[in-house]
Structure 1
Amino acid sequence: MKPAITVLGTGRMGAALAHALLKGGHSTTVWNRTIEKTAALAAAGATVAASVLDAVEASEIIVVNVTDYPATAVLLRGDVASALRGKLVVELTSGTPNGAREAGEWATEYGVTYLDGAIMATPDFIGTEHGTILVSGPRQVFEQSKEMLQALGGNVQHVGDDLGLANALDSALLALMWGSLFGALQSIAVCRAESIDLGELARQWTATAPVVEGLVTDLIKRTEAGRLAADDETLSSISPHYSAFRHLVELMDVRKIDRTVVDGYDAIFRRGIAAGHLHDDFAALSQFMGEAG
């Protein structure tokens, strides 16, 4: 028999999690501070709890998806914390690695089994085979809960026993995403300044994206292996990158485009070049990202 699940927090993501559990055949109880946000879930078969305590008492597994860890701490205090003893809490709220570790310490103190997760998807991917959720915590607990977790996303992965790892990976992957999104904003600004149709930008990006993906993959592999000097397999050294980068900066200055983003790039380039890495592989710049200069 499938375990009963409670979902605390039914915003867009929490509602998607609850719908996926219902679809997966789990008896599902939901709670939200604004009860109106549970109406669609009630219509789909979920039980709406009148209080957090009622919601927690209804199930053996509690999935939390609220604003942040402090918000979770407020919900799970007092009588609720006592009611959680012996149960499993799966925290799917965005947070920091240290926040996850502190939550794990709290769980141990109250006799609560705990897993921490990071959802690497938008709500429309929840419950699909492409829904990715990274989970950290005891491997045995993950394996025991895997069927329920896979109802939330087909690509559920255990990333380590350290409770902070899921959030750490989340931040790392978001850094890649934001690099792309802010890069796109920069590209749009250049195109507008130079009267280039954005449809043309989209077409050229489609053609260029595989090259960029290859560069990112190579950068990660070379950094992992410590192969920072240029060699026969180097795809591009710092020198041509910085030459092209200076052309971009000149264009931006002429067109009076905001330089906030590229000034950050320039600072990293300059650190690497000043340290003698102008002709090394682009991966050499990884040495200058560990601590602020």
Structure 2
Amino acid sequence: MKPAISVLGTGRMGSALARALLQAGYRTTVWNRSAEKTGPLATAGATVAASVREAVDAAEIVVVNVTDYSATAALLHSDDVASAIRGKLVLELTSGTPHGAREAGRWAVEHGATYLDGAIMATPDFIGTDHGTILVSGTRQAFDAGKEMLGALGGNVQHIGEDLGLANALDSALLALMWGALFGALHSVAVCRAEKIDLDELARQWTASASVVDGLVADLIKRTNAGRFASDDETLSSISPHYSSFQHLLELMQAREIDRSVVDGYDGIFRRAIAAGHLHDDFAALSQFLGKAG
């Protein structure tokens, strides 16, 4: 028999999680601080709990998807709920920090629960589909025990290690890549608008060049992992031509009064690397200079 599951938090993502569980045939109870958000789920077959304690009592697995770990603590750490958590599997799918995940896991184990921490690498429309990706950290035993339920949430659920902080750490790393691309897109749009370039043209040229960028990112990660920072026969791009072109971007942005707060940070990293003698090294050499004081 499939375990009973409760979902705490039914915003857009929590609702998607609950719907996926219902569609997979799990007896699903939901709770949300604003009860009106649970109405569509009740119509879909979920039981609506009147309190967090009621939701916890109804389940063998408690899925939490709220704002952050502080919000989770506010829900679970009251005496009546903490006493009811014993023997349950808590699957935390709330975004947060690695140390927040470790602290939440310690609390759960101290109160007799099993704990898994997950990072959802998808928008709600991907939940329950073959392409839904969720990174999960925690004991392999707990992951294997919950694998069928996790599979209902997405077809690409991965156990990435027993350290509870790993899922959120990797989530942050991947989000850094995403935000780098999105802020880069914002800079591109600003330049195009300043120079009266049609944004449809930008979209066409980005589509044509995206595979080149993907290749550069993959190569940077590979070379950094191997510590291969000096230029060699396999170098795709060294710092020198990048920095020359980057100076042209800075000059354009200055002339057009485009905000330089982000790119000036890039310039500082370039300058530290060049001052340390890396001008002609592979672009991956810049990885040695992030996080160091200027």
Under a length normalisation based on structure 2, what TM-score does the superposition of the two structures give?
0.99
Cα distance in structure 2, aligned partners of 1:258 and 1:84? 50
Q: Which residue of 1 aligns with 2:122?
A: 121
Deviation track 1:62-97 (CA, whole Å, cap 9, x = no partner) reads 000001001100100211011010110000000000
Matches within 5 A, 1:202-217: 202-217=203-218
Structure 1 unmatched runs, 5+: none
Structure 2 unmatched runs, 5+: none
| Structure 1 residue identity aligned to 2:49 | A
Q: Which residue of 2 aligns with 1:46?
A: 46
| Structure 2 residue identity aligned to 1:121 | A
Matches within 5 A, 1:102-181: 102-181=103-182
Q: Which residue of 1 aligns with 2:12?
A: 12
TM-fit CA distance, 1:2: 1.1
| Structure 2 residue identity aligned to 1:97 | P
Deviation track 1:10-64 (CA, whole Å, cap 9, x = no partner) reads 0000000000000111000000000000000000000000000000000100000
| Structure 2 residue identity aligned to 1:155 | N
Cα distance in structure 1, aligned partners of 2:191 and 2:291? 30
Cα distance in structure 2, aligned partners of 1:58 and 1:155? 28
Q: Which residue of 2 aligns with 1:71?
A: 71
Cα distance in structure 2, aligned partners of 1:265 and 1:80? 48
Deviation track 1:98-124 (CA, whole Å, cap 9, x = no partner) reads 000011110121111000000000101
Cα distance in structure 1, aligned partners of 2:215 and 2:291? 23
Q: Which residue of 1 aligns with 2:254?
A: 253
Cα distance in structure 2, aligned partners of 1:289 and 1:126? 34
Which structure 1 residue ranges, 4+ long, deviate > 6 Å from structure 2? none
| Structure 1 residue identity aligned to 2:165 | G
| Structure 2 residue identity aligned to 1:212 | V
Q: Tell me the matched-pair count.
A: 293
TM-fit CA distance, 1:198: 0.2
Deviation track 1:237-256 (CA, whole Å, cap 9, x = no partner) reads 00000000001011111111
TM-fit CA distance, 1:291: 3.2
Cα distance in structure 1, aligned partners of 2:218 and 2:52? 45
Deviation track 1:207-231 (CA, whole Å, cap 9, x = no partner) reads 0100000000000000000100000
Cα distance in structure 1, aligned partners of 2:7 and 2:292? 39
Please state whether the residue corresponding to 1:7 is helix, strand or coil.
Answer: strand
Matched, 1:285 2:286: yes
Cα distance in structure 1, aligned partners of 2:293 and 2:143? 36
Please state whether the residue corresponding to 1:59 is helix, strand or coil.
Answer: coil
Please state whether the residue corresponding to 1:156 is helix, strand or coil.
Answer: strand
Cα distance in structure 1, aligned partners of 2:287 and 2:133? 27
Please state whether the residue corresponding to 2:196 is helix, strand or coil.
Answer: coil
CA RMSD of aligned residues (A): 0.6
Please state whether the residue corresponding to 1:111 is helix, strand or coil.
Answer: coil
Q: Which residue of 1 aligns with 2:58?
A: 58
Q: Which residue of 1 aligns with 2:196?
A: 195
**Percent identical:** 80
Cα distance in structure 1, aligned partners of 2:28 and 2:99? 30
Please state whether the residue corresponding to 1:74 is helix, strand or coil.
Answer: helix
Under a length normalisation based on structure 1, what TM-score does the superposition of the two structures give?
0.99
TM-fit CA distance, 1:290: 3.7
Q: Which residue of 2 aligns with 1:26?
A: 26
Q: Which residue of 1 aligns with 2:226?
A: 225
Please state whether the residue corresponding to 2:178 is helix, strand or coil.
Answer: helix
Cα distance in structure 1, aligned partners of 2:61 and 2:67? 19
Cα distance in structure 1, aligned partners of 2:55 and 2:160? 29
Please state whether the residue corresponding to 1:72 is helix, strand or coil.
Answer: helix
